[in-house]
Structure 1
């Protein structure tokens, strides 16, 4: 895959992008990449076309609601930025780089939009909470 240029953005969108990137950096999800490092890809749409689908089953909402209707006690947990809890391999970090108008960044944790992110996240939740899910 070839290097893609930064997407053009109007000033207001640039400001929002800068705020979002700073938030992801503060959370340890994203880091800035030096100018001399090669960028493999920054468009997850292109990456997703080459990704072999992970067929891990994701629960159907209707079945989940049916099970909940029989419950005596229901607990809700909020996994803040759930996908961002998955640390990426060094190879995945290089593949998941993004280019913006003021630099190159690479994800340190799984971003949204990756084809297999939902199935990987579900697998992780089933491993952590085997009895609850």
Structure 2
């Protein structure tokens, strides 16, 4: 992550719809670095809809602050090693968001740990929300 761009994005206020759209675009660019991004930003994306009155509620303010927190505490992503098996964690329990994480086992200071290769999350389309978690 480019720390200068992160710092600029974190300083923007949430007083206009254009600022929210710009912030969401920036956050979306780094979506592989932030776990559960789609879940966190769902309220802010609804705010950007055409027929919604621009109002920063407590829930939306919390989402904005949480994204800022996640940017400053995002894990360092590691490069994939295709000789070692990957681990994938998938969460489709929520009917509005699909989330996954791709991890790799590694040895750090003689201790086995799992490092994050990337996070994946997106909001479910209305038509997809009608299916169960196990249906394709």
Larger radius of gyration: 1
For this structure pair, what is the TM-score category when the shorter chain's length is used for normalisation?
under 0.3
Query: Per residue, is there more strand in 1 or in 2?
Result: 2
TM-score, length basis structure 2: 0.22
TM-score, length basis structure 1: 0.22
Where relative contact order (Cα < 8 A, 6+ residues apart) is larger, the structure is 1
